[in-house]
Structure 1
Amino acid sequence: MLAAVATVTAVAALAAGCGIRSTSVPVDAGAAPSRVPCRTPAHDVTSQALEDIEVQVYLVCASQLMTVNRSVRLDSAEPDRIRVARVLLDELQKAPSADERQAGFSTGVPTGLRVSAARADDPAGTLRLNEQPEDLPAEALAQIVCSYADSETLVTGGTVVLGGPGDYAPRGYPCASETKTRPGEVPTLGALERP
C-alpha cells in the first residue's frame, strides 16, 4: 500500500512539469535563448597594411544586432562622409566570414543597395539610398542605421538621416537600445523639413 502511494506521488510530481504555470495572457519575453556565441576571434592587427583601418558594423546574431570588427581600405578619391557611408554599406553587404558564420552572424542588407550624397534641397547630413529606406527589410534598415550611427561623420542631431530615390522627404532614424535588441522594429522619426 505504501509503495502504491509513493508511486502515485511520483507520477503526480512528474505530471506537474517544471512548476511554471500556464497563462492565457501573451507574454513577450524577447528573443529565444540561443547557443551561438555571437563572438568572433580577435583580428591580428599587426599583419594589416598601413592603409587599412578597423571599422565596426552591426550584423544579426540571435535575433539581435551585435558588432563585428572589419579591416577596410578607404579610397581617398571620394568626400569623407560618402566614402565612410559606402565602406560601411559594402561591409554590411558582404557575406559573413567563416568565423562570423560559425559564431551565428548573418546580414540582411541587399547587395544591390547603394548610397549617395544629399540633394541640393535636402536637410543637412542626408544620405540618399537607391531604395526607399522604409521598403527595406526592417533588420537590414536597423543594421544600416546602427552602423552609420556609430560614425560621428554620419550622424546629425542624434539620428541618421536617410532618403530614397523618390521625392519623399528624408527621415531621421535613431539607433536606440531597442533597435539593437529588436531590429525588426526600427523606430522612424517624422519627415524632416527641407531648408
Structure 2
Amino acid sequence: MTGRRIRAAVVTAVLAAGLAGCGIRSTEVPTDFGPAPSRVPCLMSGSSIASQSGSEVPVQVFLVCAAQLVTVDRAVRVHEGKATTDRVRIAQALLDELAASPSEGEKQAGFATDVRGGITVSGPARGEPEEAVRLSRPPQDLSAFALAQIVCTLADSAASAEDQTVIMGGPGGDPLRRYTCAPEVRSRPGSAEPPSETVR
C-alpha cells in the first residue's frame, strides 16, 4: 500500500469514528423531512379574550393572516345610546374592535388588520331598510382587505340582515349596497371583492 493510500485510509477511519461518536449515521441517500414549519401559523396558543366583565359580549372578528381572513375571539363593550339601535351599537363596537391594534399574541401568530380607526356607524335614513347601517366613510373608499374584514365581521354578527348579508353605505346620499361574505372573500380578500348589489 502506497503512502497516499495509507493516508486516505486513516482519514476515512477517523471520519467514520467521528460520525459514530456523534450519533450521526452517514448516508448516501438525501433525506426529505418535508417542508419547513410555517412561521405564520394563524393559530392562537390560547384564547385572545381578556377577562370579561358583565358588560362585555364575546364576539368573533375577522383579521388578516397569511393573506386570508381568519376569525379571532374578542370581547366587546356595547355602549348604550338612546339615539341608536342595537344593530348600530353592535356594528360600531365591532368596527372599533377591528381598528384596534392586534394583541402581542395575535401579532406573533401573524394576525393584522387593515381597518383604520375613526369610522363611525349610524342607522338608516327615513325610508331605508331597518337592517341598513351607514359608515362615516364610503365603503368603496376602503382598502380591499378592510372592506372584506368589515363585511365578513358584520355578516357573522347580530348587525347583519336575516340572510346574513350586510346592507351598508357611506354618509349622506351614498347608495346602499347589500354585501355578502362569500368563501372566496375569506380566502382571497385582497383580490376578491365581497359580492354586492344596489339596494333600491
Match of 2:117 in 1: 111
Cα RMSD after superposing both structures: 2.1
Match of 2:54 in 1: 50
Alpha carbons of 1:59 and 1:127: their partners in 2 closer, same or farther (altered >3 Å)? same
The superposition leaves residues 40-61 of structure 1 with CA deviations (integer Å, 9 ceiling, x where unpaired) of 2333879432222211100000
Q: Which of the residues 87, 103, 127 maps onto 1:97?
A: 103
1:173 aligns with 2:173: no
Which structure would you say has the larger Rg?
2
Partners of 2:119 and 2:50 in 1: how far apart? 33
Match of 1:125 in 2: 131
Q: What TM-score do you get using the length of structure 2 for normalisation?
A: 0.73
- Structure 1 gaps, min length 5: 1-32
| Amino acid across the alignment from 1:108 | D
Query: Alignment partner of 1:190: what SS?
Result: strand
Match of 2:73 in 1: 69
The superposition leaves residues 45-96 of structure 1 with CA deviations (integer Å, 9 ceiling, x where unpaired) of 7943222221110000000000111122222335311111011000000010
The equivalences for 1:17-56 within 5 A come to 35-43=39-47, 47-56=51-60
Task: Check conservation: 2:155, 2:166, Cα contact below 8 A.
Answer: yes
Superposition deviation, residue 130 in structure 1:
0.9
Partners of 2:67 and 2:48 in 1: how far apart? 28
The superposition leaves residues 107-138 of structure 1 with CA deviations (integer Å, 9 ceiling, x where unpaired) of 00111221111111323311001111111101
Partners of 2:196 and 2:51 in 1: how far apart? 43
Q: What TM-score do you get using the length of structure 1 for normalisation?
A: 0.75
Task: Check conservation: 1:124, 1:156, Cα contact below 8 A.
Answer: no
Alpha carbons of 1:156 and 1:192: their partners in 2 closer, same or farther (altered >3 Å)? farther
The equivalences for 1:147-166 within 5 A come to 147-166=153-172
- Structure 2 gaps, min length 5: 1-36
Percent of pairs identical after alignment? 47
Match of 1:82 in 2: 88
